[in-house]
Amino acid sequence: MTIPFTFPPSLRYNSPWTQVVILGLVVFSSVGMFSAVNGLGAGGLQDTQLSDTAQGVLYGCFAVAGFFAGSVHNMLGPRLTLSLGTTGYSLYVGALWAYQVHGTRCFLVLAGALLGVTAALLWAAQGAVMMAYPMEKDKGRSFAVFWSLFQLGTLVGAAIALAIEARASRPAGSSQALPAVSTAVYLVFVVIMLTAVPTSWLLLPPHLVVRADGSVPRLDRAISPRRELAGLGRLLADWRMLALFPMFFSSNFFYSYQGAVTAFLFTPRTRALVSLLTGLGSMVGSVVIGLLTDGLPFASRRRRALAAAAYVLLLNLVVWGAGLAFQLQFARADRAPAVVRGAALPWDWSGADATAAAGPVVLIMAYYVADASFQGLAYYTMSCLSNDPFELARMAGYYKGVQSAGAAVSFGMDAASTAFLAEHLVSWLLLLASLPLCACVLWHTPDTLVGNDDGPDDGPDDGPRSAAAARQPSHP
């Protein structure tokens, strides 16, 4: 039996699908390139401890800013919020290059702090657009489209790095430092990231977006600070947000471990190849989870969501179980030119190393298939709780804030040279423990929110309204 999974043909500028594509292009050229840099291992730096420190500061600031980013979005609107959110990424990659050339450690840490604040704004706007603009039946596919474009940025960025690094000869093993990534790689990334700022202004606010059924996501252009604070308070007191806290906390926790292992095992050009494959793996994972949430032949949205949660649980059991078997073969104390799987570290993709490196490369790609599926389930769960852009912006900000708190803790663990095995086990157990709580939230999810969108949250204009109504004044 085949599962239908077609994308709507509407390419109107004010169509939700066009807006999700624009959003994906913005994140493609900003966060996607940032992910490609991180995929090189330790941000391409030789000093993994400094990279972990900068990332820890980044995610610490992100965690604090995330709780308020949704409220900022609701008062500024998606275009300005998204535009401000893109600025920190190019600054951070420029700081990586400056450290590589001039050794400016403080600037890198400061850039990490600034990126934490701006990234919170970007992801709040992203969540509101991706989850609120499409119709309920399209929300899983909306994630698939957005996440594929986002990860296409990772893939293209990694391909650029791979093309530049591919001709580099393998350096001799060293017990002191990792091989460095070239200046050319950083500069190409910065130029691409800067294009995200003008692209973000192509995004439409929700009152100008018209769905296929003629409804608009939201009539209000902005919200007052008083109403926004009240809405934020209700969100933080919602039992469903408390139940989803472990899922949100664990959703980026494993990145420090995977980045450290990639930097530990591979040469720069092999790290670029790994980054490319992880982008591809994320695209595959996002399409699969979108197919399950929107395309399974169940009339009930709850049943589709619970089936998707079961798939994510099984996938994480298999992939992380295989990862545990691999992790038992080496430890952080093993330094180049230590021999792992019969080959000296760091591994290259060519020569005698190829056999040793092939399995771990596939494993890291599989980690990102599981990651995209987990992220997709988190977003779909939130989108089942509301259709209102203001409420979903708050949820997205809360999600990214808690997520970043988890990432800050994990990068702090890695900066303290925590054993790889301990990092692996903590990451895996957090993922597994969070999924039953997510299933509990999904069990209480109604099949539709149309006509009863958000209860008393933000006044009388919460629900979807027709495009004809949108052209009329909200009040006499």
pLDDT at 426 over 80: yes
| pLDDT (0 to 100) of residue 345 | 84
Question: Rounded to whole angstroms, how far apart are CA atoms 116 and 91?
Answer: 12
- Per residue in 294-325, pLDDT (tens digit) is 988 877 889 999 999 999 999 999 999 999 99
State mean pLDDT over 114-125: 96
- pLDDT score for 457: 47
Query: pTM of the predicted model, to two decimals?
Result: 0.86
SS3 284: helix
Most confident of 6-10, 227-231, 324-328: 324-328
Least reliable range by pLDDT among 122-131, 265-274, 367-376, 449-458:
449-458
Residue 462 has pLDDT above 70, yes or no: no
Query: Is the bond leading into 346 cis (omega within 30 degrees of zero)?
Result: yes
Average pLDDT, the chain: 84
Per-residue pLDDT band at 48 (split at 50, 70, 90): low
Alpha-carbon distances, residue 332 vs 328, 407, 459 (angstroms):
11, 20, 55
Q: Which of the two residues, 470 and 236, has the higher pLDDT score?
A: 236
**Average pLDDT of 447-461?**
55
125 compared with 449, residue with greater pLDDT:
125
Least confident of 2-16, 17-31, 304-318, 416-430: 2-16
Q: What is the mean pLDDT of residues 335-347?
A: 80
Q: What is the architecture, at CATH level 2, of domain 16-468?
A: Up-down Bundle (1.20)
Both ends of the chain: CA-CA distance in Å?
Answer: 54
CB contact burial 292-331 (16+ within 10 A = b; e otherwise): bbbbbeeeebeebbbebbebbbebbeebbeebeebbeebe
Q: Which residue has the higher pLDDT, 232 or 318?
A: 318
Domain spans, the chain: 16-468
Average of pLDDT values for 347-364? 87
Q: What is the predicted pLDDT for the residue at 49?
A: 72
Alpha helices by DSSP H, listed for 238-300, are 239-250, 255-265, 268-295
